[in-house]
Amino acid sequence: MSQPAELCEEGRLALIRDVLERIGDKWSVVVICQLDDTTRRFNELSRMSSPITKRMLSATLQGLERDGLVTRTVYDTKPPRVDYALTPRGISLLKVVRELAGWAEANAAGILESRSGYDAR
Amino acid sequence: MSQPAELCEEGRLALIRDVLERIGDKWSVVVICQLDDTTRRFNELSRMSSPITKRMLSATLQGLERDGLVTRTVYDTKPPRVDYALTPRGISLLKVVRELAGWAEANAAGILESRSGYDAR
DNA sequence: ATACCAGGTCTGACATTGGTACCTTCCACC
DNA sequence: GGTGGAAGGTACCAATGTCAGACCTGGTAT
């Protein structure tokens, strides 16, 4: 098995930071979650992610495409149509995000409690 | 079992964003990893996390303490001494971070390749 | 005198984000 | 003929957030 070993080894920390910069921005996770297992069009994503602007959606999708997490398929039809979907790599990331979500749900209450305790000092 | 179900449900996305804001900053993960299973002093962490400034280390630790992820123990000795350690909640978060690290390692090469392909278009 | 401990403060640079406006092509409407 | 909408963006600017660096604290030990 892989040994947990040196978690703080320099290179490893750099890798983690890389992933966090990828999914740590404001919209990447939202978009990834909404792509989930289907393909979606640009404006569809725009509507689903409610207060996101086209500008941010576009930038987010470009970043995800650059890292090979989503595919962008352009159909040269009368009104242009562009489909986005998760790649296998994107799907594997989504699994990790689900773990994160699980942790978040399990600990949200405790964290909020801890915060209010801390703030009231 | 817990159904994966509505991952993009509003509240759930908000929770994920919360966690990501917590660990998505520049130093939290570094500090958490270095606390791992031992207790460490302020300057010890400062040295281990190399280019971190005291200001950022202090801020990071305060954030982590606020969320109940680390404990801060002050000894009122001649030169002041403050020990930091992960709480059980912090340890559970570290496990998730390890998963993240695993994904990062497994996908780093592919991502870099994808990036250079994208940039060279 | 100097350095270590554990920080706090203050300023300025830089990155991220939001908002608005604009573009192109097709189509429907009046 | 002109207006305006949808599709999928891009360009530019302003506000905001994040971070580093330099300096200050105060007590103790060398």
Domains of chain A, earliest start first: 10-119 (1.10.10.10)
Closest CA to A67 of B116, B121, B114, B120: B114
Of chain A residues 62-101, which have a CB less than 8 A from chain B? 65-68, 89, 92-94, 96-101
Neighbours of B12 (CB within 10 A): 19
Tell me if A104 and B68 make a contact (CB, 8 A cut-off). no
Tell me if B15 and A105 make a contact (CB, 8 A cut-off). yes
Please, what's the largest Cα pairwise distance for chain A? 62
- Percentage of chain A beyond pLDDT 90 is 80
The distance in angstroms from the start CA to the end CA of chain A is 45
**pLDDT of A75-117, one tens digit each?**
988 889 999 999 999 999 999 999 999 999 999 999 999 999 9
Mean pLDDT of A27-40: 96
Quickly state the pLDDT bin for A6 (edges 50, 70, 90): confident
Mean pLDDT of B23-28: 95
In this prediction, residue A115 carries a pLDDT of 95
